[in-house]
Chain A
Amino acid sequence: MKKKILPFSVIIIFGIIFFIFYKGLEDSKIYTPDVNTKKEIPVFNTKEFFSGENVKSSSIFELDKVYLLNIWSSWCVPCRQEHPLLMNLNLENKLNIIGMNYKDNLKNAENFLKELGNPYKEIFIDLDGTIAIEWGAYGVPESFLIYKNEIIKKYIGPLNQQLIDEMSLLIK
């Protein structure tokens, strides 16, 4: 009897290992931080994009409005792709789009906006990328849906029409 327990348990253990590897094959291994948990927005001080004046985060976000914070940069190619979508979204006037200019040359950034239009209600700058980290972002573009000083949802990478539709549902 004892002699049979060992082989069986070994086989069962390897069976389980097989199953786990099999399951593990299914999903992607590229890590993305959690995008759904609600978080308070961070507190930070920075400069306004056009005027260069100091601004505080508390003066940008009001409690009863819905905001979309968009991290962008003139050197980022996907930002160019998503920009028309932001322009449309701004026309719909359902939410306020705030821009965060990430590690950019201000001249280039201004030209970028001149060329493609400015969908942002307000823009502030993040020269060394540290504010982006406060937000828990790690690249450009990223967008955050904000209501009552809370991040409701995070969008990593360029937005597309589907995500924007989803956003409209969330706002309701």
Chain B
Amino acid sequence: MIYSVFGYYSLIIGLIIGLSLFYFSYKNFNNSSILDTKILSFTFLQFFFVVISFLCLIFSFVVSDFSNETVFNNSHTTKPLFYKISGTWGNHEGSLLLWLLVLTLFVLLFLVRTKNQPVKYKILTLVFQQIIIVGFFLFLILTSNPFNYIFPIPTEGLGLNPILQDPALAIHPPILYLGYVGSSIIFSSVLAATSLKIISTNWAVHIKKWILISWIFLTLGILLGSIWAYYELGWGGFWFWDPVENVSLMPWLALTTLLHCILVLEKKSILTSWVIILSIATFTLSMCGTFLVRSGILNSVHTFANDPERGLFILIFLFILIFLSILIFFFFHKDNYRKSYNFFWLSKETSILINNWFMMYFLSVVLIGTVYPIFLDVISSQKISVGPPFYHKLMIPFLIPFLIMMAIGPKLKWIKSQLEDKIYLISFLIISILLAYLILKNFNQNILINTILISSALYLFFITLRDFFVKKYKNISQNIAHFGFSLLILSILFNNIFASEIITNLKVGETFENSKTKIVFESVDQKKEKNYNAIIANFSISNLNGEEDIFSPELRIYNQPVIATSEADIKTTLMSDKFIVINLVQNQDFFNVRYQVKPFMLWIWLSVILISFGGIVSFLQKRS
């Protein structure tokens, strides 16, 4: 009760501070020798009040204060403390408060950490960021107040969706948002820099760190979501090309492109327009994602509470930001790159251009695939689905040259270069092709496209691997990330090609046996937990080599709300995952059992961690 009041008024104060910051910025902007300390302290205060508000919401959840509508809708007294806390951002209102928290955090950090940049630029960045912040304050207060009061006070809450009661998903939103919302500061600063016409190598060096932060968190955030999907949704898949997943992938693609493009700007002071467009696109895509997810305009596995009114608010706000950036771009930005700049076909800048070209293509595939059904429905009321086959068909062929470029590109020098060590580049290629052919031949999976794909991924793998030993750590971060990417593609490919699966129906005591695997359904137990009851099925599964594993997948019936879920039992080893799930079949006394062996599963996660580790190394590197 008291927390709700505090929380709500903190939000109002935060909004007022936001508005007053416009005034201070205006005053300071006109005589801008030094940054007004008022601005700094007010920005801090704003962050402080959002933190207070956020803490109030957390406390409301912890003490199960059901006079708060958000708590009532998303919590229950029997929930473990951990999920009471994570329930705070597991819902629409709370997650928007988290948005706001990250927005204010980043602008504060930006003001504190930015040195050697013009004061006017800092102020203007603050102004643009405050436009976003004020917009979200209004959104929160007007359409999705997390502190709504209900009377009479219910004695019990409705509970948290059981599929959200999971450790990976509990930390997924904060991590993802740091990346997602963190890109707002790139957006604000690029608009400021464009208005002041200070986009230069100096600016590129400064903004690169912020790009890296967003990128690292976004990468890890997507990873966590994917891991969660792997064991909680569906049967052993980790990426479904579901709209909600695509929506997180799009800013990542834009951000990755930007990260490469900023390198050119950093060195050569060219491609300024392109950097501006990419920076704007990244945050716009993040916002667009929030719109698509929160408005319910898309049909997805990931269920979120939807409300058209909220959708409309974000939509209008999103397009205000888009039109604002278009105006600033066309009004202020004069492409003053030296018209005579020559791109030599074999040079680092050309290779980065080619990277950008492919990344933009991948982005356009994901974007068009995600929104096209909406467009078609509106224009001709035809309903279609765009799923994995579409993305695979359009992306996989393009991945091949992309991987090869990833191996060769970093070897090139700026301006003009020649391919050194041609012999080893070519010999590695031949080795990769041979190896890929041998591997697939051995498993009777000799499909041409797979051979080529694996060859190119192996090629990148070997080239980057060699560079760890040859190069004197000149560009270790890039090498780690590219190496990680090759590992990722290889793991995904092997995971797909060599996965095996058994689907069968078994009663207790029955045995399934084929030439390679023997599954014995030993027994069924029951378990009672605080927030669910479970049926535990015990299996022992042995393979040809006589190795035997005991598995106990569960069927859980959560009490608040009453939802049945099936929990997979997964045995992870370095080389493969063994994955089993059971399901009840209506009116039958057997269970539907699915057993999968998925090789290299762990490596998919590890390689993504490696990729983001590359980012971390780059972030920590001192500029020489």
Contacts and interface: CB of A to CB of B under 8 A. Distances in A.
Taking the complex as a whole, does A directly touch B, i.e. does some CB pair lie under 8 Å apart? yes
Interface of A: 6-7, 10-11, 14, 18, 20-27, 29-31, 75, 103-105, 108
Nearest to A22: B315
Contacts of A104: 587
A24 B326 contact: no
B291 A10 contact: no
Contact of A29 (B298, B312, B586, B587): B298
A31 B315 contact: no
A32 to B, nearest CB: 9
A22 B587 CA distance: 45
Contacts, number: 51
Interface string B403-434: 00000000000000000000000000000000
Contacts of B308: 25-26
A33 B298 CA distance: 17
B299 A24 contact: no
Interface stretch (B59-67, B99-107, B210-218, B377-385): B377-385
7 contacts: A10-B330, A14-B319, A18-B319, A21-B315, A24-B375, A30-B299, A31-B383
Contacts of B330: 6-7, 10
Contacts of B319: 14, 18
Contacts of B291: 21
B493 to A, nearest CB: 33
Closest 5 CB pairs of A and B: A7-B330, A29-B299, A23-B378, A24-B374, A18-B319
Contacts of A105: 587
Nearest to B284: A14
Contacts of A31: 299, 383
Interface string B323-334: 100100010000
Interface in B327-384: 330, 374-375, 377-379, 383
Interface in B1-17: none
Contacts of A11: 323, 326
A24 B378 contact: yes
Contacts of A20: 374-375, 378-379
Nearest to A24: B374
Nearest to B300: A29
Given A29-B298, A31-B383, A103-B587, A22 B322 contact: no
Contact of B587 (A7, A10, A27, A75): A75
Given A21-B374, A22-B315, A31-B383, A10 B326 contact: yes
A26 to B, nearest CB: 7
Nearest to B311: A25
Contacts of A23: 378
Nearest to A23: B378
A26 B379 CA distance: 13
Contacts of A27: 377
A6 B298 CA distance: 31
B491 to A, nearest CB: 34
Contact of B326 (A14, A22, A75, A103): A14
B295 interface: yes
B561 interface: no
B118 interface: no
A27 B330 CA distance: 35
Interface of B: 291, 295-299, 308, 311-312, 315, 319, 322-323, 326, 330, 374-375, 377-379, 383, 586-587
A3 B374 CA distance: 32
**Chain B at the A interface: mostly helix, strand, loop or mixed?**
helix
Contacts of A29: 296-299
B312 A103 contact: no
A8 B299 CA distance: 33
Contacts of A25: 295, 297, 308, 311-312, 315
Contacts of B297: 21, 24-25, 29
A27 B296 CA distance: 10
Give the one of A7, A10, A21, A31 with max B CB within 10 A.
A21
Given A25-B308, A75-B586, 10 more contacts: A7-B326, A14-B319, A18-B315, A18-B319, A20-B375, A22-B312, A26-B308, A29-B299, A31-B383, A75-B587
Nearest to B385: A31
A108 B259 CA distance: 63
Contacts of B299: 29-31
Contacts of B315: 18, 21-22, 25
A25 B379 CA distance: 13
Contacts of A75: 586-587
Contacts of B377: 24, 27
A90 B414 CA distance: 84
A104 B289 CA distance: 43
A128 to B, nearest CB: 10
Contacts of A18: 315, 319
Of residues A22, A26, A29, A30, which shows the largest number of chain B Cβ atoms within 10 Å of its Cβ? A29
Contacts of B374: 20-21, 24
A3 B298 CA distance: 37
Nearest to B331: A7
Given A6-B330, A20-B374, A21-B291, A103 B586 contact: yes
Contacts of B323: 11, 14
A6 B335 CA distance: 14
A30 B377 CA distance: 12
Contacts of A108: 587
Contacts of A30: 299
A34 to B, nearest CB: 9
B228 to A, nearest CB: 23
A31 B308 CA distance: 17
A105 B589 CA distance: 11
Given A6-B330, A21-B297, A29-B296, A14 B322 contact: yes
B370 to A, nearest CB: 12
A22 B296 CA distance: 12
A150 B299 CA distance: 32
A135 B375 CA distance: 30
Contacts of A103: 586-587
Nearest to B309: A25
Contacts of B298: 29
A55 B365 CA distance: 51
A105 B586 CA distance: 9
A20 B288 CA distance: 14
A29 B304 CA distance: 13
Contacts of B311: 25
A6 B487 CA distance: 42
